[in-house]
Amino acid sequence: KNNIRVNAIAPVAKSRMTETILPPEALEQLDPAFVSAVVGHLCSEDLVDTGHVFAVGGGYVSRVEVMEGQGVRLGHQGKTIEQVAEAWGRIGDLSGARPFGNAMDALSEALRPT
């Protein structure tokens, strides 16, 4: 809306934080400039992509997709912890998963008449 685009990155780069957890040979390959180049492209006025997450690090870039399972309609019954716990296995089942569009799509599904 209003020509606003929003994307996110999941970066891995050499930093004060990663210096304490990654081996030196890995850090040598994780120049922050790799991440900066992707961020610069994402800020380009020519970019039309929106609503995506990108994994970025060490010269590797990939689009990451959040998936949504089939879901479970608990209806008015799903008001207790026990009812949710009973359905938890079905809730977490990713058989037939599809890309998660956005919160409005999820709301439409939740409010869809059964």
Cβ atoms of 61 and 36 within 8 Å: the answer is no
Closest to 110 (Cα-Cα) out of 76, 80, 82: 76
Compute the average pLDDT of residues 1-30.
92
Place of tokens 């850090």: 27
**Model confidence band, residue 105 (pLDDT cutoffs 50, 70, 90):** confident
Residues 13, 59, single domain; the answer is yes
Structure pTM? 0.71
State both tokens at 92: 């977490």
Q: Is residue 2 part of a domain?
A: no
Angle at 98 between CA 4 and CA 69, to 5 degrees: 115
Closest to 39 (Cα-Cα) out of 4, 76, 11: 11
Closest to 96 (Cα-Cα) out of 72, 61, 62, 60: 72
Segment 30-79, tens digit of pLDDT? 999 999 999 999 999 999 999 899 999 999 999 999 899 999 988 776 68
Task: State how many domains the chain has.
Answer: 2
Residues 46, 28, single domain; the answer is yes
pLDDT of 42: 96
Q: Is residue 103 part of a domain?
A: yes
Q: Is residue 41 part of a domain?
A: yes
Residue 88's domain spans which residues? 67-111
Residues 97, 95: Cα–Cα separation, whole Å: 5
Measured on CA atoms in the order 66, 70, 73, 74, is the torsion positive or negative? negative
